[in-house]
Homo-oligomer: A and B are copies of this chain.
Amino acid sequence: MELSERKKRILTAVVEGYIATAEPVGSKALAQTIGCSSATIRNEMSELTAMGYLEQPHTSAGRVPSPAGYRLYVNELMEKQKLSEAETAAINEKLARKDEQIEKLMAEVGQLTSSMTQYPAYALTMKPPVAVKRFDFIYVDANTFIVVALLTDNTVKNKLIHLPFSVHQEQITTLSSLFNANFTGVTDREITDSIIRSTERAAGDTYGLVAVVASFTMECLAAARTAPLRVAGQSRLLDQPEFRDPDKAHALMSFISDGSHLMDDLPPAGMGTDGVRVTIGPENMAEELKDSSVVMASYDAGDGMRGYIGVVGPTRMDYSGVAAKLSYIAAGLSRMLAGTDAPRGLDNKLVLKESGHYEQEGREKE
């Protein structure tokens, strides 16, 4: 059933009021903004409460949005916020390090997200399976050689291998061609014992050399796929009034700091509108997040790699502002990563608009 226009406005006002003040919102406060008397608003609010969009902490306190209320707000009511010039400038400046090491940038994306939103943030990159494109074996000395593996995602891994016995240059060369023949183009799951064994036979390897290099290979491939998840700005949680209770804060913080839990919850559902997904309170799977909300955005990291950034906060979260910021950052990352490596035929402007309608033009001050 569709809500009347006025109910929507009231719900919106309650949500935004509560977000801003962390205090239950009363009818009197809304009378002016809505443009009718407090009694009318009371009636409306009481209906909204019956419908499950609002809640009362107790009789005779104002109203507070229920999870359903937040949901409706996020889905339909929320105004897309534009970022201020200062904000876009700050983000752009950070992202402008494009030329510098992407690795480092990625390590700082969490920091950036957290500092822009003022909530704890996390960032992770999901990669598709990779394979080794080619191996090179560098002969260092009789007991030492280096394996260099160039992966399909153009990263390079290496390992120094030190042997308790000596090898000849030719043995290394043989090993090299065998590995290039047998271990390239396969993902970590496709490396079977039988391949290893047959390579061992072909190399006449009795020292387990093949096994060592093969396990290094598998490690590389697994590591390249595994998402390194970074959490940043945990302590900002303590800024939120709902976490002034140290026990609550503690519980959520230790949950957050072990990123693995967050990951479980992340990729399941597809992204909503604008590539931003909002999960409100009880919608979260994890028990520890039942009173919190998670906002996440995904970005295209090129080559089919999909990255995620997100923030965690109380259900009373500035969804609109956070969504705008995440969206903008995600769009910037997509542009940078996908744009450089594998242009998607979208210029910057387009990517921005597509992914969020949070263009940076417009100069509201606030």
List residues of A whose CB falls within 8 A of some B CB: 134, 136, 138, 140, 146, 148, 150, 154-160, 162, 233-236, 238-239, 243-244, 246-247, 249-250, 253-254, 257
Contacts and interface: CB of A to CB of B under 8 A. Distances in A.
Contacts of A136: 138, 146, 148
A150 B139 CA distance: 11
A254 B253 CA distance: 13
Given A146-B136, A154-B160, A160-B154, A238 B249 contact: yes
Contact of A150 (B140, B236, B253, B254): B140
B156 A150 contact: no
Per assembly, the copies of the chain total 2
Contacts of A138: 136, 138, 148, 150
25 contacts: A134-B140, A138-B148, A140-B150, A146-B150, A148-B158, A154-B160, A155-B160, A156-B158, A156-B159, A157-B158, A158-B158, A234-B234, A234-B257, A235-B250, A235-B253, A235-B254, A235-B257, A236-B254, A238-B246, A238-B249, A238-B250, A239-B250, A244-B246, A246-B246, A246-B249
A45 to B, nearest CB: 31
A162 B156 CA distance: 12
A271 to B, nearest CB: 29
Nearest to A151: B160
Contacts of A234: 234-235, 253, 257
A336 to B, nearest CB: 16
Contacts of A238: 246-247, 249-250, 253
A272 to B, nearest CB: 30
Contacts of A156: 146, 158-160
Given A158-B156, A246-B249, A253-B234, A148 B146 contact: yes
A269 to B, nearest CB: 28
Contacts of A140: 134, 150
Given A138-B138, A234-B257, 6 more contacts: A138-B148, A150-B160, A156-B158, A158-B158, A238-B247, A238-B253
A252 to B, nearest CB: 9
A155 B146 CA distance: 10
A144 to B, nearest CB: 9
